[in-house]
Amino acid sequence: MQVGVNYPWFDYGWDFGLGPPGWRGARTTPRWFEQVDEHLDRLRGLGITVVRWFILGDGLTYGTGSDAPQPDQLSATAWRFEPPPLNPEFIEHFEELLGRFARTATAAAPPLQLLPVLIDFHFCDRGMWPVEEVDSSDLLATRADTGWVKQGRADAILDPEKRTRFLTGVLDPLLRASTRQPDVIYAWELINEPDWVTQGWYPNPFAHPPIPEVAMLGFLDDGKQRIHAAGFKPTIGFGSVRTLRRSGVTAEINQFHYYPNRRLGLEEHRFDPRFPGIVGEFATAETDVWPELNDNGQTVAHRLRLVADRGYPLAIPWSFLAHDRHTAWTEAVEEDIRSFTNGAFTT
């Protein structure tokens, strides 16, 4: 079984394209430029072969200034958004990332592969203006720039015309860039955990209003066709295997995330081998208890062994750089991964 890792971003929503002027040092390149080579070498040394990375995230650097989402004047919660094409800097930064991955190839091994995630489900949540703490006359102050909006971009999925414009102006150029480094791409993911914003897929959707199922299905179908036409395998990062099956959505790589927290166990791989299932996220934190493992076996190595024994071809732990209750990236976790990938781990 292959082992991947959820990078999954260096700065959520800021990794591609230009950020708000004057924020984070008024940079013209993302902060990962300085550290990603070292990170990729480190991950390769653990035996990791796939790196999952969020590209637009919540959309902060996509659609800014006059193109930023705006509150709907007739609704207390909805936002309006006219999807623009990607700016040149965004494409340049993505191409730079592909080049960094390509340079991990050696005479003995192919490059590390990237699993890019087009958008996160927060892309569809109600908009919000980011606020940064700044030092003003030795006093702590805050500021917001209404030309920069996090989230608020549900129209890119809700409205069929805007959806087409979004996929044509954003996904297609990213796919064209990917075709120049095809060996670097493991698969292309359309959205992380659409469950949480789609009507009928989650009892209390985060998006207000929620995305109708028919609109989400239209987005996924159109996106999958474009990815396949570009020569790559599409995938969708479902939050659970239950939603994956409930939705009826299939892909060339069927992905779900596994956070049982003492509840349902991990089922055997029952997907068609031509269209396999992968575990796209699982916790490195031992506090997220797997019911199949005893109290002494809640390590990442034990979890990887269980996923492999269930027949899955790829498992991707969460996460290398995120900070949340599911993440506990430590030297012990790295040793667990290394021992599994080099065959030294035995239960």
Quick: pLDDT tens for 186-226: 999 999 999 999 999 988 888 888 999 999 999 999 999 99
Rounded CA-CA distance 236/227 in Å is 12
Rounded CA-CA distance 202/220 in Å is 17
Q: What percent of the chain has pLDDT over 70?
A: 95
Quick: pLDDT tens for 141-168: 555 677 899 999 999 999 999 999 999 9
Kindly report whether the global pTM for this prediction surpasses the value 0.85: yes
Burial label for 287, CB within 10 Å (0-12, 13-18, 19+), is exposed
Please provide residue 315's backbone torsions phi and psi, each rounded to the nearest 5 degrees.
-130, 140
Contact (CB, 8 A) for 235 and 213:
no
Quick: pLDDT tens for 294-329: 877 899 999 999 999 999 999 999 999 999 999 999
Contact (CB, 8 A) for 89 and 30:
no
CA-to-CA separations, 83 to 125, 217, 322, in angstroms, rounded = 15, 19, 28
Rounded CA-CA distance 115/8 in Å is 10
Q: What residue type is 231 in one-letter code? A: G
Write down the pLDDT at residue 198.
97
Contact (CB, 8 A) for 91 and 170:
no
Rounded CA-CA distance 266/244 in Å is 14
Full set of structural domains in the chain with CATH: 2-341 (3.20.20.80)
Q: Which residue has the tokens 């199949």?
A: 292
Which helix (H) or strand (E) segment is 176 a member of?
A: helix 172-179
